[in-house]
Amino acid sequence: MYTNILFDLDGTIIDSKEGIINAFEYALKKFNIEIQDRTKLEQFIGPPLIDTFINHYKFTEEQANQAIKEYREFYRKTGVLQNQLYPGIKQLIQTLCKNKKRVILATSKPEEFAKKILKTHGIKENFYFISGATLDNTRNTKEKVIKYAINNIKNVKLEECIMIGDRRYDIEGAKINNIKSIGVTYGFGTQEELEKAGADYIVADVNALENIIMNN
């Protein structure tokens, strides 16, 4: 039985595309990079920011850190509010709480932003624990975020934990921490990506997600 339910945030609880793409565009303009097709930025929703700037845009580590600073400047003021809950997700979280499940956030988004988003949508109090990235990069991968979350669950049993997310980083992070995972295709990842990463379950909507959690 799964009693500790770990959720990713972007692409799993919220559709954060608008705020994240606007923040990327803002940061890249500081480096005189103009985006012609904003949809191409969607692939960067989920992976650590530093990986995107270094691997895709070939920034040096110094440039990448400056780009992250610009990104967060915009996101903190504006982008953090440019998102919406996926249909049915608030009801699911509340149902899980009513059924004595511990709902936990495990996101690569900085913790301060994650808490503000959950509070804005009126669901922060439903979370047993919130684990996010740190701004000093000491906790900057999904693997570390999940480990930190698990370490803060009382009387935790790994077989009772399951990670829910839309990208391979969520699935891979769960595997490294020896817990099961559910991939959701309504977010920013694809069925192929989630299958390749080795998700234990893959669902297309919130109803199917609830069925797996409540019946296993």
Percentage above 90 pLDDT, the chain: 90
Which residue in 8, 10, 15, 170 is the catalytic one?
8
Q: Which domain holds residue 56?
A: 17-81
Name the pLDDT band for 26 (thresholds 50, 70, 90): very high
Catalytic residue status for 170:
no
pLDDT at 12: 97
77 and 98, same structural domain? no
How many angstroms separate the CA atoms of 185 and 40, rounded? 18
Residue 212 DSSP SS3: helix
pLDDT at 208: 97
pLDDT single digits (tens) 48-105: 888 899 999 999 999 999 999 999 999 999 999 999 999 999 999 999 999 999 999 9
pLDDT at 46 over 80: no
Rounded to two decimals, the pTM is 0.91
125 and 53, same structural domain? no
Residue 108 DSSP SS3: strand
Give residue 46's region: left, alpha or beta (phi > 0; psi -120 to 50): left
User: 211 CB contacts (<8 Å, ≥6 apart)?
Assistant: none
Of the residues 50, 66, 81, which one is the last residue of a structural domain? 81
- Which CATH number belongs to the domain containing residue 68 in this structure? 1.10.150.240
Compute the average pLDDT of residues 111-133: 96
